[in-house]
Amino acid sequence: MEKKKIEPKEEKFEGLVKEMLMLLGENPKREGLERTPARVAKSLRYLTQGYQMDPREILNHAIFKEPYDEMVIVKDIEIFSLCEHHLLPFYGKAHIAYIPNGKIIGLSKMPRLVEVFSKRLQVQERLTTQIAECLMNALNPKGVAVVIEALHLCMSMRGVRKSDAYTITSSMLGAFRKDARSRSEFLSLIRLKKEA
């Protein structure tokens, strides 16, 4: 069987992982770790593929003129990201709302937008703001609201070791920042649980 050729960049990445394993006191040649450098390189490429995605490209082909002017919410969007401070995962749910101003967006694009920004090294605060600002710039709606609830493994596995401590961040723009009723309606609607 012919051995797969490794790109120079991948080879360097794998070499760094091997070196890290040795610095941890491991033997990268032992059976369970032999293919770990390649797996880690592939995994990190996947988990950070958001750097290769342009959010404007995703949104531009899915914006439509529509006179609808009530709140649109997509909630419970699963997120998985890597904390830029420890390279450990954080995961949870994103809830997004906007109030159209003559334009709407294809609903599937909101989870796609979350994926673009979450598949980068992140802090939850920035992730929340990036999603809100991107939607605001693309649609020019009356308002955008984003709430993210996440569990951070850097807090659960190390440091304070609080495994049930969720972090909640929000970004309220336009009508959601200025109008307490819109903000309150959004927050109450995302708290509603689905019927079993």
Can you give the pLDDT of all 196 residues of the chain as single tens digits?
A: 555 666 777 889 899 999 999 999 999 999 999 999 999 999 999 999 999 999 989 988 899 999 999 999 999 999 999 999 999 999 999 999 999 999 999 999 999 999 999 999 999 999 999 999 999 999 999 999 999 999 999 888 877 667 678 899 999 999 999 999 999 999 999 998 765 4
Alpha helix ranges (H) inside the chain = 8-23, 36-47, 55-60, 109-118, 124-139, 153-156, 175-178, 180-191
CA distances from 31 to 1, 26, 28, 55 (A): 20, 12, 8, 41
List the catalytic residue out of 83, 95, 122, 130: 83
Q: Which amino acid is at 43?
A: S
CATH architecture of 55-191: 2-Layer Sandwich (3.30)
Look up 86 and say whether it is catalytic.
Answer: yes
Q: Which two tokens stand for residue 100?
A: 């159209």
Look up 152 and say whether it is catalytic.
Answer: yes
Look up 125 and say whether it is catalytic.
Answer: no
Residues with Cβ within 8 Å of residue 95, at least 6 apart in sequence: 73, 74, 75, 76, 77, 145, 146, 147, 148, 186, 190
Q: Furthest-apart CA pair in the chain: how many Å?
A: 66
Look up 61 and say whether it is catalytic.
Answer: no
List the catalytic residue out of 133, 149, 154, 185: 154
Look up 26 and say whether it is catalytic.
Answer: no
Instruction: State residue 3's pLDDT score.
Output: 58
Look up 134 and say whether it is catalytic.
Answer: no
Instruction: State residue 195's pLDDT score.
Output: 52
Look up 83 and say whether it is catalytic.
Answer: yes
